[in-house]
Chains A and B, each alone.
Chain A
Amino acid sequence: MTEMLRGEHLTVSFGGKAVVDDFSFRLGEGEWLMLAGPNGAGKSTLIGAIARSVPCTGRILWKGEDIRGMKSAQMAQRIGILSQTNHVGYAYSVEEIVGLGRYAYQAGLFSGRDDGGREEVEKALEMTGLKEMRHASVLTLSGGEMQRVFLAQVFAQNPQVLILDEPANHLDLKYQQHIFTLIGQWLKEPGRAVLSVVHDLSLARRYGSHAILMDHGRSVAEGRIREVMTPEHLQQVYGMDVCAWMREMLSQWEEKGD
């Protein structure tokens, strides 16, 4: 399978402490790589390193090319990143924020017109169910609606790889299912791949094709989702019997009326 993104020996240190520690990964075409692990495992920092907002050592390669030398707009056309918290202070409309996803195609004094742009924005609004509130001020939106706005922005960006930090954040169950199904559909087109940080292990297991379990900045287990998400590995990383706990949670619903 064609490789799209690869990280080699990535290390990020804050104040002498390695938050991401000699971490490597590879993401192939058509794969949905789930990154899981307890709080403070370094998942978001790793995404920061891929986004080039956190300095790191090691190399990140896009189809063999080091992303360090890439122009910002070029990078944004290839890799779309949805971060965990998005807080807007001014009353932009939903459409204005989604429209900015096309920036990478419009930037530069001499770049051509962004012909498909309008259409991509419409498609993204449609997919995320935001068409009705396209003119609404983002200051009036709920956390979940906000999350969908930025997801629509990254869809409008039309990248080849999506990198999502907790895409289910702030979303109620209906939209969790909706958004994950959407991302799954998005992934079906050739030449695409997804890397996402997920806290909900059931979601990870249900939608992912591959996974990496991360702890203390290092990879504990990696490979196909079924090989990684095993009771033994989860026990090791989370320090508790995760599967028994989830079974117990689920069994509550199976008891017949009180």
Chain B
Amino acid sequence: MRNPRQLKRERFTPLTYMLLTIALLFTMILCVCVGSVRISFTDTVTAVWNGIWGLPIPETIAKNIILNVRLPRVLCVTLAGASLSICGAAMQGLLRNPLADGSTMGVSSGAALGAIIAVATGFTLPGFSMGGSMILAMIFAFVSLILILSLAYALDRSLSTGSIILIGVVFTMFISAIISLVITFASDHTRTLSFWTMGSFSGVNYPQVRVMAIALLLCGGVLIRFSPELNAFAIGEENARHIGVSVKKVKLIILITVSVLIGVCVSIAGTVSFVGLIMPHIARMLVGPNHRRLLPASLFSGAIFLLLADLTARTLLRPVELPIGVVTSIVGAVAFVIIFFRTRKVR
């Protein structure tokens, strides 16, 4: 007989990873197929396969749409979903707060402001045109994080669930006001307000995909490397110190890593809210709270979720394309309420 209190989730095997990979690939192909021009499954696979190996692609296939429009977009969405989700999972562990996420804490807004300032002032890095907005987005994300955490810490030393989110909400409103202000005065430089506040993946290109892939590889690697420490923080910061975690150092590394990853995502796609809030929760239901399994699972779930959200944004009101943040926010707000009620009730 099994003890009913036993957890059923020790079995997170290579098979689970394989199934997740297949699900992800399937979703990616689906997202390439579906759109204003419908493309058949075999055409998509052929075009991508031949494209990768440099083989000639048959004339009958809409090569341009597949390889130059949809594929970079799908790759970008996949990477952004995975990045935002792993960041959310890491922050929820680090702060022991199931509602923590770039968007609920105001970090994404901070990053967006940084990117906008770079675009409006024409600040770029020599030889790397995306670099300017990316660097400022990262710095602003980090400064926002530090600011919000210090304020929350001054308010109550235990960094309870509520106070961080409250400060995050106020911070987001404040930053949004400044974002509108900057855009009003520099409207000819920056993209539209809805891009920065609601996010969009239209018109992304391969260089952006490459940057996101590198960022995710590095930052994701760092976060996964720190899974034992994240577990310790999720159990409690004091306990983490007692078992020998260099609390300050690890916290700083994780906050910087998260800021860099969020900065890159926001500078390319604007703020896409709630991905990092919801998907780690779904992942936690599947594989449990241990970050060794939770972080990889969050990568997959985040990517799949954002792909489906992007698909909905593109196709729901065709030919009008919704900002992707509209879709994630609607789903996210509902999820937020559910999670909030559940965490309150447990106490």
Q: Which of A106-143 contact B (CB under 8 A)?
A: 106-107, 132-133, 135-137, 139-140
Residues of the A chain whose Cβ atoms lie less than 8 Å from the Cβ of B346: 139
A97 interfacial contact with B, CB 8 Å = yes
A60 interfacial contact with B, CB 8 Å = no
A32 interfacial contact with B, CB 8 Å = no
Contact flags B237-252 to A (C-beta < 8 A → 1, else 0)? 0110111111100000
Q: Which of B96-142 contact A (CB under 8 A)?
A: 96, 98
Which residue, of B3, B5, B244, B346, has the highest number of chain A Cβ atoms within 10 A?
A: B244
Residues of the A chain whose Cβ atoms lie less than 8 Å from the Cβ of B3: 132-133, 135-136
Residues of the B chain whose Cβ atoms lie less than 8 Å from the Cβ of A90: 98, 234-235, 284, 289
A252 interfacial contact with B, CB 8 Å = no
Which residue, of B231, B242, B243, B343, has the highest number of chain A Cβ atoms within 10 A?
A: B242
Q: Are A92 and B5 in contact (CB under 8 A)?
A: no
Knowing A104-B244, A140-B5 touch, does A89 contact B232 (C-beta < 8 A)? no
Residues of the A chain whose Cβ atoms lie less than 8 Å from the Cβ of B239: 83, 86, 100, 150, 153
Contact flags A56-100 to B (C-beta < 8 A → 1, else 0)? 000000000000000111111100111100111111110011001
Taking a contact as CB atoms closer than 8 A, the residue among B7, B228, B231, B245 that contacts A91 in the complex is B7
Taking a contact as CB atoms closer than 8 A, the residue among A77, A97, A104, A137 that contacts B235 in the complex is A97
Taking a contact as CB atoms closer than 8 A, the residue among A88, A107, A157 that contacts B245 in the complex is A107
B202 interfacial contact with A, CB 8 Å = no
Give the distance in Å from the alpha carbon of A74 to the alpha carbon of B234 in the complex. 22
A183 to chain B, nearest CB (A): 17
Task: With CB as the reference atom, state the residue of chain A lying closest to B228.
Answer: A103
A51 interfacial contact with B, CB 8 Å = yes
Which residue, of A80, A89, A91, has the highest number of chain B Cβ atoms within 10 A?
A: A89
Q: What total of chain B residues lie within 8 Å of the partner, measured CB to CB?
A: 28
Q: Are B7 and A100 in contact (CB under 8 A)?
A: no
Residues of the B chain whose Cβ atoms lie less than 8 Å from the Cβ of A217: none
A226 interfacial contact with B, CB 8 Å = no
A251 interfacial contact with B, CB 8 Å = no
B59 interfacial contact with A, CB 8 Å = no
A101 interfacial contact with B, CB 8 Å = yes
Q: Are A100 and B243 in contact (CB under 8 A)?
A: yes
A109 to chain B, nearest CB (A): 8
Task: With CB as the reference atom, state the residue of chain B lying closest to A88.
Answer: B235
A185 interfacial contact with B, CB 8 Å = no
Q: Which of B192-234 contact A (CB under 8 A)?
A: 228, 231-232, 234
Q: Are B98 and A89 in contact (CB under 8 A)?
A: yes
A52 interfacial contact with B, CB 8 Å = yes
Q: Are B232 and A93 in contact (CB under 8 A)?
A: no
Taking a contact as CB atoms closer than 8 A, the residue among A72, A74, A135 that contacts B6 in the complex is A135
Q: Are A137 and B5 in contact (CB under 8 A)?
A: yes
B35 interfacial contact with A, CB 8 Å = no
Q: Are B245 and A89 in contact (CB under 8 A)?
A: no
Q: Are A103 and B289 in contact (CB under 8 A)?
A: no
Task: With CB as the reference atom, state the residue of chain A lying closest to B243.
Answer: A103
Knowing A51-B241, A107-B244 touch, does A88 contact B236 (C-beta < 8 A)? yes
B10 interfacial contact with A, CB 8 Å = yes
A53 interfacial contact with B, CB 8 Å = yes
B62 to chain A, nearest CB (A): 47
B46 interfacial contact with A, CB 8 Å = no
Q: Are B244 and A75 in contact (CB under 8 A)?
A: yes
Task: With CB as the reference atom, state the residue of chain B lying closest to A90.
Answer: B289
Residues of the B chain whose Cβ atoms lie less than 8 Å from the Cβ of A136: 3, 5-7
Q: Are A51 and B289 in contact (CB under 8 A)?
A: no
Using a CB–CB cutoff of 8 Å, the interface residues on chain B facing chain A are 3, 5-7, 10, 96, 98, 228, 231-232, 234-236, 238-239, 241-247, 284, 288-290, 343, 346
In the complex, 10 of the A-B residue pairs with CB atoms within 8 angstroms, ordered by the A residue number, are: A53-B241, A83-B242, A86-B239, A89-B96, A89-B234, A100-B232, A100-B239, A136-B6, A136-B7, A153-B239
Supplied contacts A93-B7, A104-B244, 5 more A-B pairs, CB within 8 Å: A51-B242, A71-B246, A83-B238, A100-B235, A135-B3
